[in-house]
Amino acid sequence: MWLNLVVHMKRFHALEWEDLPWFPQSWRDYGTDYLRFIATKFDIYKPVLHLIKQGIDNSGQPEWIDLASGAGSGLINLAKALKSDQPNLKITLTDYYPNLQAFENTQRELPGIFEFETVAVNALSPPEHLQGKFKTIFGAFHHFRPNEARAILQNAVDTHSPIAIFEPVGRNFGSWSSMIFVPIFVLVFTPFIRPIRWQVLPFIYLLPIIPLYILWDGVASILRTYSEKEVHALVAAVEKSDTYAWEIGKTPGPMPIFYLLGYKK
């Protein structure tokens, strides 16, 4: 019964530690490294490949700007799948707290495809040289309060930029049940996550603060996610939203990816 209540509750902007400016950079970077590892290891974004293709096609150019990238999320697998159809594909990683070491590793894995911004990029108003291109946000839209989330969509419309937003968690049974395994996954997968961040290891295996922080932020992320109804309300509040075609939905399966795709009609 309690789970049913939580699933149907309204969005709640719970505290996420990694959003705090004073939060240790090495811990934040490890958190984004962990999410990137999970997304790549389990290829969680594979079901949205067709939406990425649609966004790129509607942009009219093989350039793709990823906002709030963290450590690059699951873009490696998507880039590999797109490479044959898009030989000139360019993906630029950006973040307000750029994880430069992870960005460099991603660039080395697929040289010639990935680029990155070394300075902070605000997803609400990216710099001019990133405008007018296909934009994505993977697993980070929940970080933004409603007025900020609406501003991101407004900026896409104002700059004629196709935009796609993907959330791998939501207020559903699958997401809540997956949280049980987070501390175990952190302990088991850490030796395989690159780069190895030696300074965080004591806080994983001796004093397990980091597994608890990852779990906390995971739960907070679920509470922060926007429902389909709430996303429709955000879109409706965007000026000139009727000049864009919007697709809002989720992929099938027990762990759906919730998505929003918008492009100029």
Alpha carbons 101 and 71: distance in angstroms, whole number: 8
User: Helices then strands (H, E): number in the chain?
Assistant: 10, 7
How buried is residue 206: exposed, middle or buried, by Cβ count under 10 Å (0-12/13-18/19+)?
exposed
Pairing of strands 258-264, 114-116: unpaired
How high is the pLDDT of residue 71?
A: 79
What domains are there in the chain, each with its CATH number? 2-264 (3.40.50.150)
Q: Strand order in 244-250's β-sheet? A: 114-116, 90-93, 63-67, 134-138, 163-167, 258-264, 244-250
Alpha carbons 112 and 123: distance in angstroms, whole number: 24
Q: 63 and 133 in contact (C-beta within 8 Å)?
A: yes
Alpha carbons 172 and 202: distance in angstroms, whole number: 33
How high is the pLDDT of residue 74?
A: 77
How high is the pLDDT of residue 254?
A: 75
What is the full per-residue pLDDT of the chain (265 aa) written as tens digits? Answer: 444 545 556 899 999 999 999 999 999 999 999 999 999 999 999 999 999 999 999 998 899 999 999 877 679 999 999 988 888 999 999 999 999 998 998 999 888 999 999 999 999 999 999 999 999 999 999 999 999 999 999 999 999 999 999 999 998 888 899 999 999 999 999 999 988 899 999 999 999 999 999 999 999 999 999 999 999 999 999 999 999 999 999 998 777 999 999 999 9
Type of residue numbered 216: W
How high is the pLDDT of residue 111?
A: 87
How high is the pLDDT of residue 2?
A: 44
How high is the pLDDT of residue 1?
A: 46
β-partners of residue 250 are 258
How high is the pLDDT of residue 85?
A: 85
Q: DSSP letters along 73-138, please?
A: TTHHHHHHHHHTT-TT-EEEE--SS--HHHHHHHHHHSTTTEEE-SS---TTS--GGGTTSEEEEE
